[in-house]
Structure formats: C-alpha cells, structure tokens
C-alpha cells in the first residue's frame, strides 16, 4: 500500500535539508550555564537566555530541594480544580508588587500566556495590531483569537497609527515584544501607549527578554505603562528568571477575565508548585541582582568594542544581552557557527523563517555567568575567522 502523505512529508524534509534549513537538537548534559557540555563537548555557550545565570544558581537549587520535601512533584490538577498551590499564589502576589501592577497570574509557559491574553481580550469582532517582528507565539495567538490581524513594519508607528485610525473594531489591542528577541532592540513603550490611549486600545507588552535585565530587573515597562489600566505586561520565567513559566500582570479585572475565560489557563494542569517556590527565590535574586546586571553590562560593552571592526558580519544596534551578528545568507551563518565549535564556542545560527531572508545571523547572547575571559575568547575567535 502506498502512503502518499508520508512520502510528501519526507520530500518536504529533504527539501529543508537541501536549503540548509534543517533543524537539529543539540544534546545537553548537566546544568545550563555559561560553560556547558553539548553533544559531549565542553563549550562556552553564547546562546542561552539565562541572562543572569540563575538557571543553576545554588539559591534556586536549594529552594527546589526545600519545596520538594514540602509539596512533592506534581500539581495534580488544574488551577481551578485543586492545583492552585500557595507557592503559585505567593509568587503572583510577590510579582505584582515587584512589577508595580495590581494583580498577576502565573502560566505554565509564555506561549500559553500569549494564547490566553489575546483570545480573552479580543474576540472575533476585535482587531489586533502587531509589530512584524513579534514572537511567533503572538502571531499564533492572534490567529487563534479569530480577531482581525494587522501587522505593521517593525517599530513604524506611523503605519500603526493609520491602521488604528482606519479600524472599525470595537475592541482593539496593540501587541509588541518589549525587547525584540532576535534583534535586541527595545520597543518605544510610551509612544505605543500614546497610540493606545488615543485610539482606546489595550497595549500588551511581551517582555520575555527584558524582565530581570532592564530597569533594575523590573523589565522594560515605563512608569506611565505601569500606572496605566490599559497596559498588560508579560514576563516569561524560563529566561532571565532561570526557571520556567510566565506571568501576566495587569488591572485586576483583566486578570479576573483570564481566570474566568482563558482556555490555556483553565484546561491544563498547574505547573509543579516547586517551580513556583523556585520563582519566589528567583524574584529575590533578581531584586538583589545589581551586581549580576552590572557584570552583564560590562560584557556587552566588551563584546561591542571587540567586534566593532569585524568584516564577516555586522553587530546590530543593541545595548541588551542580545547581540545579533548579522551575516546574511543561511549557509554563511551556518558555516561561521560551525567554525566556532572547534574553538569551544557555541553560537548557533538563526535562519529563516525565524528571521527575514538575507538576515541570517549569529544570535550572540551574554550572561552574567560569563567571565570577561569567555567574552574575549569569542571576540578573538571571530577575528580569526574574519
Ligand atoms: C520565549 C518567548 C516566549 C515564549 O515563552 P516560553 O515561556 O518559552 O513559552 C514568548 N514571547 C517571547 C518574546 C519570547 O521570547
């Protein structure tokens, strides 16, 4: 019997491989960090989002051990049944206080939080306005909402404004990455808020990469955004926070709306409470993390000075831990990435469709867990390849 669908799938996979677009998973042994064992090789890693080095921090490990003895492993049920543990609750309270919003809600992942927010706040008769470079989960969430979906070119607020002005929709929502994950630049938060106010829209800010790093760890929200009822803030907790999950902070009614209606919240088992206990410790470390953020700033400066004259690629304009080195063609980016491995350096290539065609890049990410010597090693290796 022929199985045509399987054959077509295999042909599609072969085509990806021919286009240098095949994705492969690297195998990590031991803990995440600046120095890791990947595919059996000890390397310095410049690709994790563990910007503060908290993923394997002794204080978080101790918090996990302590929580494990108190609450076991599994949550056992969804939040609205019997899975809402005091650790989850305490983290939400602590996060809302830290970030300066009235209420907060913990999700199992950022992907799910994004599905939840966009489907609850904007229905089929609404319209979502999104930056073209937003994270894929926000694109999927907008589609799932059934709302009209309008995208504006990256950070082009004049285009956004004309889209808003032309919209007949009752419920409008502007959504933007706060710190763009592949470019490292920061969204113009107050200008977006001006537009949201002028056109009576929600403003949803996905700060997956800024939380813990920007603004004493409080992330990229401005004071005005913090105080505004129309601003909804997302932090993901598997990046700088070093754990797992995501948390939405907003007006209490927005949070209540999510608890009542968000399917990615209601119809899923709560994350293990021990993770929430780790998050409480992570929040303490972030609050007291000035030294980590200072180390990060110093690495960013060292990297940018070191790579300024490089010919094989151009650093994008970023003063965040995301330092993309744009190379151009997929195959060239892959070649540079592979050439770094024998130097003991792990910097994967980011290709289409994650980034626009012709802008394949090394997405170099820096962490407080790096040393100045680690950064110097990468700078030197890239100059050797130049
Ligand atoms: C990583 C990321 C997410 C998804 O968060 P997870 O917790 O990893 O599911 C959402 N938005 C942005 C901008 C991200 O970078």
Q: How far is CA 258 from CA 41, 76, 141, 221, in A?
A: 44, 21, 14, 21
Residues of the chain with CATH 3.40.640.10: 58-287
User: Ligand 1: which residue has its CA nearest to atom 4?
Assistant: 110
Q: Over 90: is that where the pLDDT of 241 sits?
A: yes
Q: Over 80: is that where the pLDDT of 196 sits?
A: yes
Average pLDDT over residues 317-335: 95
Q: State pLDDT tens for residues 102-127.
A: 999 999 999 999 999 999 999 889 99
* Cβ(135) – ligand 1 distance below 6 Å: yes
CATH top class, domain 58-287:
alpha beta
Q: What percent of the chain has pLDDT over 70?
A: 100
CA angle 18, 19, 24 (to 5 degrees): 85
What pLDDT is stored for residue 335 in this prediction?
A: 95
Q: Which residue has the tokens 């990256």?
A: 154
How far out from the chain centre does Cα 149 lie?
Answer: 21
* Cβ(285) – ligand 1 distance below 6 Å: no
What pLDDT is stored for residue 19 in this prediction?
A: 82
Q: Over 90: is that where the pLDDT of 81 sits?
A: yes
Cα 201 from Cα 199, distance rounded (Å): 6
List the one residue out of 304, 319, 370, 386 whose CA is nearest residue 44. Answer: 370
Q: Over 90: is that where the pLDDT of 10 sits?
A: yes
What pLDDT is stored for residue 352 in this prediction?
A: 86
Q: State pLDDT tens for residues 128-184.
A: 999 999 999 999 999 999 999 999 999 999 999 999 999 999 999 999 999 999 999
* Cβ(330) – ligand 1 distance below 6 Å: no
The CATH number that domain 21-52+290-385 falls under is 3.90.1150.10
Give the start-end residues of each E strand in the chain: 28-29, 35-38, 41-45, 103-107, 127-131, 148-152, 172-177, 202-206, 231-236, 246-250, 314-315, 322-328, 345-346, 349-350, 360-365
Residues of the chain with CATH 3.90.1150.10: 21-52+290-385
Average pLDDT over residues 309-325: 95
* Cβ(107) – ligand 1 distance below 6 Å: no
Average pLDDT over residues 347-376: 94
């Amino acid at each position: 019997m022929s199985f045509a669908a399987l054959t077509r799938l295999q042909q599609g996979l072969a085509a990806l491989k021919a286009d240098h677009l095949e994705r492969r998973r690297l195998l990590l042994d031991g803990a995440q960090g600046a120095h890791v064992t990947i595919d059996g090789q000890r390397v310095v890693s410049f690709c994790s989002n563990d910007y503060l080095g908290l993923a394997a921090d002794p204080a978080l490990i101790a918090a996990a051990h302590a929580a494990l003895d108190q609450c076991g492993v599994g949550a056992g049920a969804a939040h609205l049944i019997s899975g809402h543990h005091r650790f989850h609750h305490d983290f939400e309270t602590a996060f809302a206080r830290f970030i300066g919003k009235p209420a907060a809600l913990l999700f199992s992942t950022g992907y799910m939080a994004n599905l939840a927010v966009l489907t609850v706040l904007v229905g089929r008769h609404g319209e979502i306005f999104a930056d073209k470079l937003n994270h894929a989960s926000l694109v999927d969430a907008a589609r799932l909402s059934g709302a009209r979906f309008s995208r504006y070119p990256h950070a082009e607020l004049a285009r956004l404004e004309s889209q808003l002005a032309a919209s007949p929709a009752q419920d409008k929502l502007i959504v933007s990455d706060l710190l763009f994950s592949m470019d490292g630049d920061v969204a113009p938060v107050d200008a977006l808020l001006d537009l949201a106010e002028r056109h009576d829209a929600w403003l949803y800010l996905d700060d997956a990469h800024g939380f813990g790093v920007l603004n004493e760890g409080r992330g990229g929200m401005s004071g005005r955004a913090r105080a505004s009822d129309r601003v909804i803030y997302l932090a993901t907790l598997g990046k700088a926070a070093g754990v797992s999950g995501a948390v939405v902070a907003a007006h209490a009614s927005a949070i209540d709306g999510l608890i009542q209606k968000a399917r990615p919240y209601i119809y899923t088992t709560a994350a293990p409470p021990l993770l929430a206990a780790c998050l409480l410790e992570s929040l303490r470390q972030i609050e007291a993390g000035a030294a980590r953020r200072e180390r990060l700033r110093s690495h960013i400066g060292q990297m940018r000075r070191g790579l300024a004259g490089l010919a094989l690629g151009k650093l994008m304009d970023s003063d965040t831990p995301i330092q993309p080195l744009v190379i151009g063609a997929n195959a060239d980016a892959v070649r540079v990435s592979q050439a770094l491995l024998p130097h003991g350096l792990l910097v994967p290539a980011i290709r289409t469709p994650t980034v626009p065609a012709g802008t394949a890049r090394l997405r170099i990410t820096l962490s407080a867990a790096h040393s100045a010597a680690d950064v110097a090693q990468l700078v030197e290796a890239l100059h050797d390849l130049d």
